[in-house]
Amino acid sequence: MGSGRGGSSVCVFHWLYCCLAVILMVYTHRASAVTCSTVLKSVTNFTIFPTDTLQCTETPFPYDSTDKFAYWALKDNTTGFVSMVLAAPLVTSEWAGFGFSGPGQMAGSTAVVTTLGVTGEPVVQQYFLKDQDLNQVFKDDTRLTLTQAIEAFYNATSKTVYVGFQVNFATSKAIPNYLLYAQGPASGDGSTISYHRAQSMDKLSNSQFPIGVVGQSEASKLDKQVKAHGALQVFGWGVLLPIGAMVARYAREYDPAWFYIHITFQITGFIFIIAGVATGVNLAKSFSTPGLTGHKGLGIFLFTLAILQVLAVVLRPKKDANIRKYWNWYHWWVGRLALFLAVINIFVGLNLGKEEKRLKVSYIVLLAFELVAFAILETIYWLRWNRDPGTGNRWNRSSTERSFQMADNY
């Protein structure tokens, strides 16, 4: 009896021990479901780009061989934008970070850090690691040029967070020569992160992501809008309006044809400008890049000048009005100012879209041709005026005033 009771006690003890071990394993083990075999569509619902063609890479952590980071990435061969999905193990009171570094060090890198908020939803923030000291780690969302806001999904069953974003590294401050992975403790609400307790690093082969076709994503739609905006503004401000202005100055001997040609070019150019402004307004809602504010502000100012020029033609005073000469001065100089500032703003816009090299080269060639044509026509203009300043009404200073007066009859 006694021995039987002793044996029963030992069996009960072992049973309780096994149950306790299982419970501890369940509650203390971080699920290591991060793997390249995961089908992203089955665990996420990203809307900023398709995920089917993205290529995956896994990175184990040194402190726990079962924990892994995995990321899917692809550089679109049309837009140059890189679509990325980061998958990392994450539990409450921890953070998971994915960074980009030029020299392969934490210092100077740009990181995308994810924590779990009080509601259990993932909270994604960008940081700049100026130095390894925590006091030199700053929140900074200007170092990555994102096409859309970052999306994140958390799988509570596998304790895995999935973070997706699309970045234009051509205009970003972050340099992706090396990819950094790290984990560490965070405050309960995820608002404060502490020094990492584990990290790993990968070097990109030839500093390049795999290249392919991402698909009809928001980035490709955005790229088409950027090209449309640039082409419309270049054709309006850079082609039609300058030609119309040269017709008004150098072709007045062909009266009244010069006036109608001038008006046709300017109105057509204004229509192209309106279309370009419309695409620009739409772009500004979904695109963020350093220097965009200045380009947008100057664009609004130029559009205002274009409207004023149109109104000036509609409301021009009669040819015998005393203020007609002041109207002429206003119309000439505001037009010249607008064309000059337009050249500056076109270059600013082309520099913002660094991948648009073909359009930039084309505009430089066009501008050079226009400047040469202007120099030749202006030289002829003044040579003819100096040769015979007192006769005729076509190639002397007074002809400008008379030509505008004759335009009132049409």
Contacts with 144 (C-beta within 8 Å, 6 or more apart), sequence order: 100, 110, 112, 126, 165, 167, 172, 173, 174
Burial class, 296, CB count within 10 angstroms (exposed 0-12 / middle 13-18 / buried 19+): middle
Question: Residue 297 — φ and ψ, nearest 5°?
Answer: -65, -45
Q: Is 229 annotated as a binding residue?
A: yes
Q: How far is CA 403 from the centre of its chain?
A: 47
The vertex-234 CA angle with 330 and 329, nearest 5°, equals 10
How far are the Cα atoms of 52, 53, 162, 216 from residue 212, in angstroms, in the given order? 11, 8, 22, 12
C-alpha to C-alpha distance for 402 and 134, rounded to whole angstroms: 73
How far are the Cα atoms of 27, 29, 95, 163, 297 from residue 188, in angstroms, in the given order? 18, 19, 11, 20, 42
The first and second tokens of residue 407, run together, are: 């335009």
C-alpha to C-alpha distance for 245 and 400, rounded to whole angstroms: 13
Which residues lie across from 56 on neighbouring strands? 72
Q: Is 14 annotated as a binding residue?
A: no
Q: Is 262 annotated as a binding residue?
A: yes
The first and second tokens of residue 401, run together, are: 């005033």
> What residue numbers does the annotated binding site cover?
229, 262, 295, 331
> What residue numbers does the annotated binding site for heme b cover?
229, 262, 295, 331
